[in-house]
Structure 1
Amino acid sequence: MASAFPHQPTVDHAPREQTDVVIGGDEPTDVLRVLSCDTAQRILAALTDAPGTASDVAAAVDVSLQNVTYHLDRLCDAGLITPVNTWYSEKGKEMTVYAPTAERLVVRFDAPADRSASERDRS
Structure 2
Amino acid sequence: MSGLLPSEGNVNVGGDGTPRVLWLDDDETEQLISSLATETAREILSCLHESPSTATEIGEAVETSVQNVRHHLGNLIEADLVVVAGTRYSEKGREMKVYAPASAPFVVCVGGDGDREGFAEAIESFLE
TM bin, normalised by shorter chain, reads: 0.7 to 0.9
Instruction: Mark the structure with the bigger radius of gyration.
Output: 1
> What is the match of residue 122 of structure 2?
none
Letter in 2 for 1:57: I
Aligned equivalent of 2:3? 3
Determine the C-alpha separation between the residues in 2 that align with 1:96 and 1:90: 14
Q: Tell me, yes or no, if the aligned pair for 1:24 and 1:111 is still in contact at 8 Å.
A: no
Q: Which residue of 1 aligns with 2:46?
A: 45
CA distance in structure 1 between the aligned counterparts of 2:28 and 2:46, rounded to whole angstroms: 24
The aligned residue for residue 125 of structure 2 is: none
Instruction: State whether residues 56 and 66 of structure 2, in contact with CA within 8 Å, keep that contact through their aligned partners in structure 1.
Output: yes
- TM-score with structure 1 setting the length: 0.80
The structure whose residues are more often strand, as a share, is 1
Instruction: Establish whether residue 55 from structure 1 lines up as the match of residue 60 from structure 2.
Output: no
The number of aligned residues is 112
TM-score normalised to the size of structure 2?
Answer: 0.77
- Secondary structure at 1:102 match in 2: coil
Q: Assess, with a 3 A threshold, how the Cα gap between structure 1 residues 20 and 102 changes in structure 2: closer, same or farther.
A: farther
Q: Secondary structure at the match of 2:4?
A: coil
CA shift at 1:112, angstroms?
Answer: 6.8
Give the distance between the partners of 2:85 and 2:70, measured in 1 at CA. Answer: 16
Which structure features the higher share of helix residues? 2
Contact 1:79 1:101 in 2 (8 A): yes
Sequence identity percentage: 34
Instruction: Give the gaps of 5 or more residues in structure 1.
Output: 114-123
5 Å-filtered alignment, 1:1-123, equals 1-9=1-9, 11-15=11-15, 16-25=17-26, 27-29=27-29, 30-109=31-110
